[in-house]
Amino acid sequence: MPTPRGASEDAELVELSIPALPALLSLPRLTAAAIAARAGFDVEEVEDIRLAIEELCLAAFEGRGPGRLHLGFALLPKAIRVDCTFEPDTKNTRVDDTRSELASSLTEQLLEALVDEHGVEVEDGTRRTWFKKSHSNAPVE
């Protein structure tokens, strides 16, 4: 399970693992919305996070075959960080790592508009997509 980068030891962490199916993307959206609302994000920011999480998940697995999505949510002071990795199904011997240029461009534009930072990292053959969204209304502990 991915531990979100930049998460300190005292960050509240939530992990979620689901089959990589578009029909199940409501689960990460609901989880992200609940965490963001609890952290004090306003309604508009929560909706931005809900949209961003769907794009993040699609970018992680779209066109790559069956498998699982592993998500790590870190509640940071004044921010939320979400990391998503795709684990191909062991039966899937061929992973198509291509995504249409248009789909990638649209995801990039949406994430630019919705979150503060985002990116894709590839480490040891594992692809991790992530975003971070900050707000000024978070309670300081």
- Classify residue 28: in a domain, yes or no: yes
What's the domain count of the chain? 1
- Per-residue pLDDT band for 21 (boundaries 50, 70, 90) equals confident
6 falls within a domain: no
pLDDT of res. 140? 46
Of 29 and 94, the structure prediction assigns the larger pLDDT to 29
In sequence order, what DSSP letters do the residues of 42-100 get, joined into one string?
-HHHHHHHHHHHHHHHHHHHTTS-SEEEEEEEEEETTEEEEEEEEEE-TT---------
- 117: domain CATH number? 3.30.565.10
Q: Is the pTM of this model over 0.85?
A: no
66 within a domain of the structure (yes/no): yes
Phi/psi for 26 (5° steps) reads -65, -25
Has residue 44 been placed in a domain? yes
User: What letter does residue 136 receive in the DSSP assignment?
Assistant: S
Full residue range of the structural domain in which residue 50 is found: 12-134
DSSP code for 137: -
Instruction: Give the residue, 103 or 39, on which the prediction is more confident.
Output: 39
Per-residue confidence band for 141, with pLDDT thresholds at 50, 70 and 90:
very low
User: Is 134 in a helix, a strand, or coil?
Assistant: strand
- The tens digit of pLDDT for each residue in 36-50 reads 998 889 999 999 999
Looking at the DSSP bridge assignments, the partners of residue 76 are 79
Residue 24 maps to a domain: yes
